[in-house]
């Protein structure tokens, strides 16, 4: 069954690539281009996606696509139409970058820095970088990664090169809003923080997260988005820590509005549920957007490790200054990484083109909606 799915996915990837080539996608101008609406009146869409985890097979594919160089843009072409149309698009860059052509996959990842240019070309504005692999190459790995993201014009949150950077809020403009992006990880894979640099990786702690969120508000953030690298690998249900922390973070309020407006989860390798908790949307886990063929804890191949979702949220401005920017539309878009073709596939588009991947799409949908998100308005987007 898995082999059949891959065979189908290989064919549909070619169709998607052809379609993408025919329609260069760009962010859409606001209504009445030439006469922008007042900033306070403009809402925005935010798209977020899961772990970018380049195993050795993914690195090899990028080198093949680049004719000896490392070219990652074709891998992401299938989701570029969705990502590039968003006012703000966030990814999760799980690994650090290597140098001098020395690139490795699991267990200590050192990815080609060219992936940063591919993320930018796809339309990503920023990435969370706090993960259990943040210290796979020590402080120098963090530095190389953030340098490459800076050079590509992709903002980042969760790791830092200096103490000042660690205490600076990552702010991004989207529509009429200032959006703060904060990111944290539950662990660093057992690797100690660099000597004298306890701030190099943001570790997950309720009090620290809320303090940072309130600092972001004071710095002018209209919307606060928190990325959390958390959960139990290969478990599609959120674990007790995820449920408890989600409740605690979304319950915190100051000045008549929540401290946090959206939580984006990564790490589990499989899609997890979306849920509205205390009036705030939480994605417990988006799954792996890019990864090699995955094996679970028992060593068995598990295709769920190449399945994920894009979350898309439409924010509308408050009726009064200082009020909450509310999510007026919440969507998820199922996707998978075709490990044979080395392409991310938008499953809804693939089905419309005749690919037999409805069972995969529906399985992802069932997990996403497993905690009642449909009752709160979550829909499957196109």
191 phi-psi bin (left φ>0, alpha ψ -120 to 50, beta other)? beta
User: Chain centroid to CA 265: how far?
Assistant: 8
- 287: Cβ–Cβ under 8 A, 6 or more apart, which residues? 50, 51, 268, 269, 270, 271, 272, 304, 305, 307, 308, 309
Distance of alpha carbon 9 from alpha carbon 4, whole angstroms: 9
> Going residue by residue through the chain (382 aa), what tens digit of pLDDT does each one get?
334 344 444 444 444 444 444 333 333 333 333 434 444 459 999 999 999 999 999 999 999 999 999 999 999 999 999 999 999 999 999 999 999 999 999 999 999 999 999 999 999 999 999 999 999 999 999 999 999 999 999 999 999 999 999 999 999 999 999 999 999 999 999 999 999 999 999 999 999 999 999 999 999 999 999 999 999 999 999 999 999 999 999 999 998 899 999 999 999 999 999 999 999 999 999 999 999 999 999 999 999 999 999 999 999 999 888 899 999 999 999 999 999 999 999 999 999 999 999 999 999 999 999 999 999 999 999 8
- 98: Cβ–Cβ under 8 A, 6 or more apart, which residues? 104, 110, 111, 112, 113, 137, 141, 144
Q: Dihedrals φ, ψ of 322, to 5°?
A: 90, -5
Q: Dihedrals φ, ψ of 241, to 5°?
A: -65, -45
- 205: Cβ–Cβ under 8 A, 6 or more apart, which residues? 184
- Please check whether residue 246 is in contact with residue 292, taking contact to mean a CB–CB distance below 8 angstroms: no
Q: pTM for the complete prediction?
A: 0.91
Helices (H), the chain: 2-22, 56-65, 73-76, 80-85, 114-122, 138-152, 163-166, 206-218, 240-251, 347-352, 358-368
User: Chain centroid to CA 227: how far?
Assistant: 8
Cis before 107? omega within 30? yes
- Please check whether residue 93 is in contact with residue 52, taking contact to mean a CB–CB distance below 8 angstroms: yes
Nearest C-alpha neighbor of 236 from the set 207, 265, 195, 201: 265
- Please check whether residue 286 is in contact with residue 268, taking contact to mean a CB–CB distance below 8 angstroms: no
Residue 7: DSSP 8-state: H
What architecture does CATH give domain 2-29+39-380?
A: 4-Layer Sandwich (3.60)
């Amino acid at each position: 069954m898995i082999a059949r799915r891959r065979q189908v996915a290989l064919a549909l990837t070619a169709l998607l690539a052809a379609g993408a080539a025919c329609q260069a996608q760009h962010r859409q101008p606001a209504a009445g281009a030439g006469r922008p609406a007042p900033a306070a009146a403009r809402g925005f869409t935010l798209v977020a996606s899961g772990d970018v985890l380049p195993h050795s097979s993914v690195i090899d594919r990028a080198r093949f696509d680049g004719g000896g160089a490392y070219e990652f843009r074709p891998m992401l072409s299938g989701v570029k139409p969705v990502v590039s149309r968003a006012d703000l698009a966030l990814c999760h860059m799980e690994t650090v970058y290597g140098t001098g052509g020395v690139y490795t996959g699991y267990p200590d990842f050192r990815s080609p820095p060219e992936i940063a240019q591919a993320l930018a070309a796809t339309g990503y504005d920023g990435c969370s970088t706090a993960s259990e692999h943040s210290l796979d190459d020590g402080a120098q790995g963090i530095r190389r990664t953030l340098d490459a993201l800076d050079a590509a014009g992709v903002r980042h949150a969760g790791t830092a090169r200096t103490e000042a950077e660690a205490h600076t809020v990552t702010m991004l403009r989207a529509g009429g809003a200032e959006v703060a992006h904060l990111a944290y990880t539950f662990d660093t894979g057992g690797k100690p923080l660099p000597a004298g640099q306890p701030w190099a990786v943001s570790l997950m702690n309720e009090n620290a997260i809320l303090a940072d969120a309130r600092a972001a508000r004071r710095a002018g953030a209209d919307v606060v988005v928190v990325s959390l690298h958390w959960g139990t690998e290969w478990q599609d249900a959120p674990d007790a820590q995820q449920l408890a922390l989600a409740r605690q973070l979304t319950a915190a309020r100051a000045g008549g509005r929540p401290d946090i407006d959206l939580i984006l989860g990564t790490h589990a390798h499989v899609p997890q549920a979306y849920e509205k908790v205390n009036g705030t949307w939480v994605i417990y886990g988006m799954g792996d957007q890019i990864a090699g063929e995955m094996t679970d804890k028992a060593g068995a191949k598990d295709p769920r490790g190449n399945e994920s979702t894009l979350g898309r949220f439409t924010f509308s401005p408050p009726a009064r200054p200082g009020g909450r920017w509310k999510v007026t539309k919440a969507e998820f878009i199922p996707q998978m990484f075709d490990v044979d073709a080395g392409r991310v596939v938008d499953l809804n588009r693939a089905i419309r083109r005749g690919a037999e991947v409805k069972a995969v799409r529906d399985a992802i949908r069932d997990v996403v909606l497993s905690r009642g998100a449909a009752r709160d308005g979550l829909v499957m987007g196109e």
